[in-house]
Amino acid sequence: THFLHEVFHGAGVWIARAGLLVCFTAHLWFTILLTKENKSARKKYSHQATVQAPKSSLIMIWSGLTILAFIIFHLLHFTVKAGTDYASFMQVMPDGSERHDAWKMVIVGFSHPLVVIFYLIAMTLLCSHLSHGVASIFQTLGLRTKKTAGPITLLSKAYAVVIYLGFISIPLAILLFGFGCEACK
């Protein structure tokens, strides 16, 4: 918990938050530019045929918006601390000072089935979003050819699944198996 305390306080967290905000804004900006460029580069079709388009590419806007909603929820839940009495999450240290018990907050948060369900939905869409995004990086850089398409698709899906499994393991362990719940008693 000392590490988490240091992460949630001081200049480091604000530098990280500013960096994430810059990355998010750049991602959004370049997504809009690329979408406009793609639409102007191709003619209008009388029938939209998406036979070759992967499903993840067809839901990018919806997965992106759901991930945005998740980020807002996450910030409200864990940073702004809205919706729960977080005064009970203060921990008295041996020197008498108090600090926020982030571990307890995570355990209590993921003990609610609706929170975990929303988290799982958001992570599933993040997995789809990442899979398409990673594959698209190679396409944008001109590295995707007929020969490399298969391995690139496999690599992008494997990367997304590893991220997905890592992110869902903690909420599922807490909700289904009571992992860490002894800390909240």
Whether residue 109 contacts residue 77, with contact meaning beta carbons closer than 8 Å, is answered with yes
- Per-residue confidence band for 1, with pLDDT thresholds at 50, 70 and 90: low
Domain boundaries, the chain: 58-83+103-185
Identify the three-state secondary structure at position 56: helix
- Per-residue confidence band for 91, with pLDDT thresholds at 50, 70 and 90: confident
pTM score, whole prediction: 0.75
Q: Average pLDDT of the chain?
A: 83
Mean pLDDT of 122-133: 89
- Per-residue confidence band for 167, with pLDDT thresholds at 50, 70 and 90: very high
Which residues, at least 6 apart from 156, have a Cβ–Cβ distance to it below 8 Å?
130, 131, 132, 133, 134, 135, 138
Q: How far is CA 68 from the centre of its chain?
A: 9
Q: Could you give the residue ranges of the DSSP H alpha helices within 42-112?
A: 55-58, 60-74, 102-109
Instruction: Read off the amino acid at residue 91.
Output: Q
* pLDDT tens-digit series, residues 61-79: 887 888 888 888 888 877 7
Distance between CA 63 and CA 127 in Å, rounded?
A: 9
DSSP 114-165: HHHHHHHHHHHHHHHHHHHHHHHHHHHTT---HHHHHHHHHHHHHHHHHHHH
Count H helices and E strands in the chain, helices first.
7, 2
Whether residue 129 contacts residue 56, with contact meaning beta carbons closer than 8 Å, is answered with yes
Distance between CA 66 and CA 64 in Å, rounded?
A: 5
